[in-house]
Amino acid sequence: MKALALEKTGGHLKVMDVPVPEPEADQVLVKIHSVGLNPVDYKLANNPLPEWEFPHISGLDVAGVVEKTGANVTDWHPGDKVYYHGSLAHQGGFAEYSIARQDVLAPLPEGLSFNEAAALPTPAFTAYQSLNRKVPSRKGQTILIQAGAGGVGGFAIQLAHLKGLDIITTCSPENTAHVKKLGANKVIDYNTENVVKEVHKYTDGRGVDIVMDMVGGQAVSDAMDMLAFNGHLVSVVDLPDMSQYAPKSLALSIHEVALGFVYRSDDERQIADLGHIAKEVGELAANKQLDPMLEDVVTLEAVPEALSKINEGHVRGNIVCQIVD
């Protein structure tokens, strides 16, 4: 089969022919129609995981059709349309076929194309896990979502809006209309405005109940200055430096989100929860409560260039690679 793979550590992604994999007893072989692109694909191509076998195929977010099932698989059959979030450590979806555990699969959301479904897993599941598994919230609370025009940020805005939260987000001016359409109430231009000051101005000095940070660095440190008492910090990139934090001063809860590393935990319940999240997110998308925010579709050969663009941090929404016309 044709695949976009990394031939060795220090090499470059290139299209090559590799064998079609065979599913084990509890696995499914999926004929891939579309696969989503994510920042982690770029990062790991330049800093591979130690357990990778070469040539290594990246690509976590797959939508396609079941081609073949292992001996113990009973819930899925050839011809079923599915989508799923794959493993960072194993062979991925930038190829014509890929292997998945049977318990992480979910039906292709009704009314969505393969391209739209492939735009969901990493960004939408990260946002969903943050706001529906990690953080307790209730209508009327205030949330700051950093980088609201990105994939995770855009889904977080939509999910927070469904929960009735008062949403503040940061983005560049050209994306203001986009994030407001998704549900943001207050938009801060991080290029020209002081985010901490604007947050306190908007909340009358109280701070926000939740900060969801997808930026890291100084942004996650600033979160400590923007949270109200008993607030929640959701960290998707970096954890804050707690050495300057006075215990009991804010009674904070800090939530680290690492969706892509759940497979490495070997926690069967948490891995299987990827399948539950896929079904729940899929239902929201099928009911038009969640927009996949598909911005661009590229060929397999164009993936490296698109990943470089994503790594620059100025891509709105999501980019998908279409394998099957």
Of 278, 263, 268, residue with least CA distance to 62: 278
Q: Which residues pair with 319 in a beta bridge?
A: 296
Pairing verdict, β 294-298 and 318-322: parallel
Tokens of 27: 């696995």
Number of Cβ within a 10 Å radius of residue 27: 19
Positions of E strands within 25-72? 27-36, 56-57, 61-69
How many whole angstroms separate alpha carbon 45 and alpha carbon 41?
6
pLDDT at 273: 98
Q: pLDDT digit of tens for each residue in the chain (325 aa)?
A: 999 999 988 889 999 999 999 999 999 999 999 999 999 999 999 999 999 999 999 999 999 999 999 999 999 999 999 999 999 999 999 999 999 999 999 999 999 999 999 999 999 999 999 999 999 999 999 999 999 999 999 999 999 999 999 999 999 999 999 999 999 999 999 999 999 999 999 999 999 999 999 999 999 899 999 999 999 999 999 898 888 778 888 899 999 999 989 999 999 999 999 999 999 999 999 999 999 999 999 999 999 999 999 998 878 999 999 999 8
Q: Which residues pair with 171 in a beta bridge?
A: 189
Tell whether omega for the bond before 55 is within 30 degrees of 0, i.e. cis.
Answer: yes
Of 239, 271, 268, residue with least CA distance to 253: 239
Of 200, 196, 230, residue with least CA distance to 213: 196
Q: How many CA atoms lie within 13 A of 170 on its CB side?
A: 22
Q: Are 315 and 172 in contact (CB under 8 A)?
A: no
Number of Cβ within a 10 Å radius of residue 187: 23
Radius of gyration of the CA atoms of the chain, in A: 20
Contacts of 204 (CB under 8 A, 6+ apart): none
pLDDT at 244: 76
User: String of b and e for 254-283 (b: at least 16 CB within 10 Å)?
Assistant: bbebebbebbeeeeeeebebbbebbeebbe
Residue 252 φ/ψ, nearest 5 degrees: -75, 155
Of 94, 20, 92, 31, residue with least CA distance to 298: 94
